[in-house]
Amino acid sequence: MADKLAGMQMFVRVVESGSFAAAAALSNVTATMAARHVREIEERLGARLLHRTTRQHKLTEIGTLYYERCKRALHEFEQAEASAAELRSSPRGRLKIVAPVSFGSEKLAPVLADYLERHPEVSVDLTLDNAPVDLMREGYHLAIHIGELDSADLVAHPLHAYRRVLAAAPSYLERHGQPESPAQLRDHACLGLAYWKKKEFFWALVGPDQQICHVPVEGRFTANDGRALRAAALRGTGIVLQPDLLLENDLAEGRLVPVLPEWSHVHTPMHLVHSRELRPTAMLRSAIDFLVKHLSAS
């Protein structure tokens, strides 16, 4: 196999340099040795690759096809060698990652800070965006995806499910009362995300026995970011359904009170994803391993 690879490399050099002598000089061998490599390939294939004249060598039809395939194979070989060498090296470079706003700011950013502490030659660009992105076109290495995956072009690493809980300010519950069942939510002001297409929307809630209840809810306040909904809930505007990681401090300190604590939104799958076309590097491998380890606990 090594002899075949050496022969392919010599043949490509002969074609690109224009002569056996030039290719031999580039390879630090004699012109006779360069010609021998090409002759052995022709004998093995049973076909002539070059039309030889005293002044130049021209590719035959088979030689043209073989040259194109050799170039491709040698490029893949070089890429494989480079990737293996890089994976053995220490992580370095600039990691670009995109994540939904609430999860990225509340949970992902502290984990990335811990990752940077372990890998001083890596820097991170974190973008917070709730809109879908094209990873390769926009230059991202990794993304946090919340919801079902619908692309076969992505490699997905499962993380813990995304959990949303119901809460309201004590002042709101003093005025309107604490709902005792999911059905009673339809009589309350519910704070919704601005991408709702209708005034009425259904919250899919899962109960203590894993029963699922779809409750129609509506409200007068919507926003395109969970932190704005949290702020409105703190002012007593209504009941909010948001990630527990966004509300946990408010709940712990009593600024918000759990609503229907035995119920939560149906858990949403969450993955760390990257394009299948992304070249593996030490930085990428270390980042994936670290993030999956620290974001996979339930």
Does 235 share its domain with 117? no
Q: Do 106 and 127 belong together in one domain?
A: yes
Q: How far from each other are the two terminal CA atoms of the chain, in whole angstroms?
A: 49
d(CA 133, CA 154): 12
Please check whether residues 97 and 110 belong to one and the same domain: yes
99 and 45 in one domain?
no
Q: Give pLDDT tens digits for 180-223.
A: 999 999 999 999 876 544 544 788 899 888 889 999 888 889 88
Residue 199 confidence (pLDDT) = 47
User: Which stretches of the chain drop beneath a pLDDT of 70?
Assistant: 1-2, 53-56, 83-88, 194-200, 297-298
Query: For position 258, what pLDDT does the model report?
Result: 96
Say how many domains are in the chain: 3
Could you give phi then psi for residue 264, rounded to 5 degrees?
-150, 170
For residue 86, the Cα-to-chain-centroid distance in whole angstroms is 20
Burial group, residue 33, by CB count within 10 angstroms (0-12, 13-18, 19+): middle
- Indicate if 197 and 210 belong to the same structural domain: yes
**Same domain assignment for residues 144 and 274:** yes
Question: Amino acid letter at 291?
Answer: L
Return the amino acid letter for 146: I
Residues 178 and 195 grouped into a single domain: yes
Judge if 13 and 146 occupy the same domain.
no
Residues 172 and 190: their CA atoms lie apart, in Å, by 11
Alpha-carbon span 101 to 149, nearest angstrom: 19
Is residue 171 domain-shared with residue 27, that is, in the same domain? no
In what helix (H) or strand (E) does residue 115 lie, and over which residues does it extend? helix 109-118
Domain containing 286: what range?
Answer: 93-160+269-295
Do residues 274 and 150 share a domain?
A: yes
One-letter amino acid for residue 279 of the chain: R
Yes or no: say if 193 and 221 are a contact pair by the CB < 8 Å rule.
Answer: no
State residue 245's pLDDT score: 87
| Domain match, 253 and 170 both | yes
pLDDT at res. 252: 95
By CB atoms closer than 10 A (0-12, 13-18, 19+), residue 43 is exposed
Q: What is the CATH number of the domain that holds 106?
A: 3.40.190.10
